[in-house]
Amino acid sequence: SSSLSGFGAGKVILLGEHSVVYGYPALAGPLSRGVRARGEASNKCQLVIPEALTAEQRKVLKAAFGRAMAACGEPGVKVSFDTDLPLSMGLGSSGALSVACARVLLQAAGRKASATEVAAVAWEMEQEFHGTPSGVDHTTSAMEQLILYRRKPGAEQGRAKVVESPKPVKLVVVMAGARSPTKLTVGALRERQKRWSERYQRIFREIGLLASEGAEAVEEGDLEALGDVMNVNHGLLAALGLSSPGLDDMVHRLRNMGALGAKLTGAGGDGGAVIGLFHDTGPAVHELTRLGIRCFDSQLAGPRSEGTRG
Ligand code: MEV
């Protein structure tokens, strides 16, 4: 029996996290890091769950895989996975895992594994991981392109428009905070916005406009404008109570290192990652690594020069 393999890319939200949950657009792109799933023929459909997980994590993972497995008609395959993505850092590890499993399950079922099919199966898993996610994570992972994503009210899947870039869009991704569960941060924001709906909706709407402006800046190759939009977006995320001293400190550090723009990415809260946009990521990665700060660089879009890692 031949073995199957599927990759799910991690993701970075350039603009529009959180407001995307409320129906506004977000700009997000894939990382070259992600989750690799492998499948071997087996008499039953099952997922090999890593030893290191807590009882609660195992339960969620089992339930999530159960939904994807059912969506694919329970093909006889034993799925295992590994990852080089920092977990619970707002880099889309659960979406990446969902996409990797979906690819293997669809192949095992002898079905097409187009981005649309993969996204539909991965969506089953994502709902189990996150409750009411916007869908931006697994869609970015399944499409593996920079996209402007918008959740459609009432619809199962959101809509994604590919954003082409004439210039390389290069980021430094810094693990600036502790691990932070997205579900809690999203839930706490939901309570605040219920209570002070108009004020919060105004800011969500403004962030949505920034995401669209950022997509235009990318298409025009105007990285300075993209950087400025990122800076403003970070300020509004802070206004929504989604930043922390640690994240703010890293944002300022990256700007001092010459970032065109810097902001938190993903859910924020107490933890997670910060991104900086650079013409050349090399010096910042070198300096941060020298200081013992965990980081990596990644190109999200645009032409790739020979020998560039993602
Ligand atoms: C998670 O990567 C981004 C959030 O906007 C949540 C979501 O989109 O479901 C915080």
Cα-based angle 21, 24, 29 (whole degrees, multiple of 5) = 80
| Torsion angle of the four alpha carbons 95, 98, 104, 110, in this order, in degrees rounded to the nearest 10 | -110
Architecture of domain 169-301: 2-Layer Sandwich (3.30)
Tokens read off for 118: 């993969």
Distance 137 CA to ligand 1 centre (A): 7
CATH entry, 4-162, from 1.10.357.10, 3.30.70.360, 3.30.230.10, 2.40.50.140: 3.30.230.10
**DSSP secondary structure string for all residues of 37-88:** EEEEE-SS-EE---TTS-HHHHHHHHHHHHHHHHHTT--SEEEEEEE-SPTT
> For residue 130, what is the DSSP state?
H
pLDDT in tens, the chain (310 residues): 468 999 999 999 999 999 999 999 999 999 999 999 999 999 999 999 999 889 999 999 999 999 999 999 999 999 999 999 988 888 999 999 999 999 999 999 999 999 999 999 999 999 999 877 899 999 999 999 999 999 987 777 799 999 999 999 999 999 997 777 788 899 999 999 999 999 999 999 999 999 999 999 999 999 999 999 999 999 999 999 999 999 999 999 999 999 999 999 999 988 899 999 999 999 999 999 999 999 999 999 999 886 555 4
User: Rounded to whole angstroms, how far apart are CA atoms 230 and 12?
Assistant: 13
**Number of neighbours of residue 78 by Cβ within 10 angstroms:** 18
- Distance between Cα 42 and ligand 1 center (Å): 35
Cα separation, 121 vs 250, whole angstroms: 36
Residue nearest to atom 1 of ligand 1 (CA): 266
Looking at this predicted complex, what is its ipTM? 0.95
Tell me, in angstroms, the distance from the centre of ligand 1 to residue 165's CA.
23
Active-site residue, 84 included:
no
Gap between the Cα atoms of 35 and 292, Å rounded:
25
Taking CA atoms only, the protein residue closest to ligand 1 atom 2 is 266
DSSP 8-state assignment for residue 170: E
In which residue ranges of the chain is CATH 3.30.230.10 found? 4-162
**Ligand 1 within 6 A of 11 CB?**
no
Q: Where in the chain is the domain with CATH 3.30.70.890?
A: 169-301
The one catalytic residue in 137, 249, 270, 280 is 137
